Chains A and B, each alone.
Chain A
Amino acid sequence: MNISKTVRNKRRPAASKSSQATPEDISKLSSTMQIPIVAVAEGIDVKSTSHLEILQPNQPPLKIELGRDEIIIGRIGECSIYLPFSNVSREHARIFGKGEEFLIEDLNSTNGTFVNGVKISRCILRSNDQIRIGDTRIQFVQQKFRV
């Protein structure tokens, strides 16, 4: 194949100067209000709400909203989520925010922290993830929306 010939054949004849539309002509034809792109981008914000739904044996479900404060889950009374069970470590795991995400981290617990059945050291949480600590099930729920 002769490439230069193919390229030459694809060239279109230049439009005559008189028939070229100027930017002014185009703006006159347009009825759309012009909004600077920066203003559009600044006007969009991603918000999210996140909470935990805690299911303990023989207990009604408990809902905990997640904010900026770190949450410690464990067996001692000082923990934000207090799970007084022998298969839960004193300070078992923590949940914390980083940027737009929440993470769970195992705190070197004896029996491990599980996300969707997988033992983890650390994990970015996604909506509907099922966390298991001892016999307690915790569901992470997140809703993201643009405002």
Chain B
Amino acid sequence: MSKGGSDTMHITFWGTRGSISTPGSSTEKYGGNTSCISLQHADTTIILDAGTGIRNLGIDLFNQLKQNNIPLKLHLFLSHTHWDHIQGLPFFVPAYLKGVQLAIYGSPKKEAFLESILQRQMDVNYFPVEMNALAADISINEISEEKLNIGGLTIDWQEQVYHPGGCVRYRFTVGNKKAVYATDVELDKMFDQRNKTSKSKSLQKEYLKFIHSADLLIADGQYTTEEYPTKIGYGHTSIPLIIETAYQQKVKQLAIFHHEPQHSDSMLDKLCSQFTQKYASKDPPMTVFWAREGMTIPV
């Protein structure tokens, strides 16, 4: 793959579906695996979420290891621990390999410790291999610092309260390039006109500042305007709202993510054609696309 300039981040979608994996011929184009993205910058490998898409990423990393014999140092950032963001972890091949370093990061504000949440997923009642038996060198970290520096990347994060149980958004900066991962948040609630408290105004401002002028924003766009009224409180955003909010904040490229399981390829194609052209022809233009498995974007 082309490496681009030294500041280039290569972002690959391994799983783009929300809620539950949806295999089948009607989801072949955009993909049926749940949330997983990799971000490669020089020798640094960041993974965002461990939905079922992480299985294919694991196979790809294993093949790289066989080919190059360069030890894997992986950094997995979890937005939250709902199933569709952690369920692939027990099937992640590098976790079973001695010599692999896997650092997992997540919110410090969970009621239970992150380590115990992940361990419970691999309890013998749910999965035959316990987490303690994994051969990789795994560290589980509840993030305490405001900013992290890994390789040439600076990573900052914020809690997103408009999702049941909470969720973390992350921003990755290299030089003047910024990529933001802000999935699983109900912006329709965040920007509800009835929200007039100073706390809610402050949360709105924080969000807008966080995504402002991002070179790539990967954002929750699970529902259509017609679907949203029956999904209030589920913690996901309606598509026109995230697109317009991103445009107002001068986002350069927006990847709609966390696709609704009921949305087929043909429906996502229709949504794509409805919005992509409209925002490409604006001045200034914004690229809007629906994230699909197997696509790598340079940022």
Contacts and interface: CB of A to CB of B under 8 A. Distances in A.
The 10 closest A-B pairs by CB, nearest first: A124-B294, A108-B2, A122-B296, A121-B296, A126-B29, A121-B298, A118-B289, A106-B2, A123-B295, A121-B10
Given A122-B296, A123-B294, A124-B295, A117 B2 contact: no
A130 B1 CA distance: 20
B135 interface: no
B287 A118 contact: yes
Main secondary structure of the interface of A (DSSP, over half): strand
Given A105-B2, A107-B2, A117 B276 contact: yes
Given A106-B2, A108-B4, A117-B276, A123 B287 contact: no
Contacts, number: 52
A121 B297 contact: yes
A115 interface: yes
A119 B2 CA distance: 12
Contact of B28 (A108, A116, A126): A126
Interface in A94-111: 101, 103, 105-109
Contacts of A107: 2
B293 A124 contact: yes
Contacts of A121: 1-2, 4, 10, 296-298
Contacts of B150: none
Interface residues of B, number: 21
Given A120-B296, A121-B1, 16 more contacts: A101-B294, A106-B1, A108-B4, A116-B272, A117-B276, A117-B287, A118-B287, A119-B297, A120-B298, A121-B2, A121-B298, A123-B294, A123-B296, A124-B294, A124-B295, A126-B29
Nearest to B12: A122
A43 to B, nearest CB: 20
Contacts of A118: 253, 287, 289, 295, 297
A88 to B, nearest CB: 15
B209 interface: no
A103 B253 CA distance: 22
26 contacts: A103-B294, A105-B1, A107-B2, A108-B2, A108-B4, A115-B295, A116-B276, A117-B276, A117-B280, A117-B287, A118-B253, A118-B287, A118-B289, A118-B297, A120-B295, A120-B298, A121-B4, A121-B296, A122-B1, A122-B12, A123-B294, A123-B296, A124-B295, A126-B28, A126-B29, A126-B292
